[in-house]
Structure 1
């Protein structure tokens, strides 16, 4: 069963009608933050990237389409779309990254300096490198 693309979508509202708000200078040091002036109400739809779990505030003025992973049929952020295309279309949902990290930690329990655990410092490297295979008993693999 296919799920709807907007399943799990959210909505954010920030009410600064009775506060001084946040100026561009206040949020300049925080990447991706939005300045919300005092005396205003900020309302936006938001989505969660299925590949990295980043929360993406949807810009109503955006003209290009949002990225959708064709393999897991879910929205992904621009950064993950760039990585997916560069990797030849690899789908690496966040759940798969967690599963792989868990497997490595169980496999190398007590071996904190094992070289295979270096990938835990870069979650983009936690994807499975081998494509899944279907093995039919008595048939060709």
Structure 2
């Protein structure tokens, strides 16, 4: 389940919800915003800040706007994964950011990873191939 943005957002695009979303799962379409169902963590932070009350938990979408649930899923089916090259020019990520850098992170070389897993104390000395000091 995810949150759905419904009709009150159409042609308004207030974007207050974008600032509150901790996982950047809200995307802008041509006429409204959409919440990516695979990225949304169901925190609900977007719902109370929407000035037009257009955001609903999927099970709570009012009957007159149930079509927006399907439209939300279809938007991302047509789009594919936003992390991949877009299949459609009808979207853009609402926040501009670069992918995280690997600089400053531990190496993935096996020897270095093994060293990072060594225990502290006598058990670590045995893992490293040394006798513990007495």
TM-score class, shorter-chain normalisation, is under 0.3
Q: Which has the higher contact order (CA 8 A, sep 6+)?
A: 2
**Higher helix share goes to which structure?**
2
Q: Which structure has the larger Rg over C-alpha atoms?
A: 2
**Higher strand share goes to which structure?**
1
TM-score (norm 1): 0.26
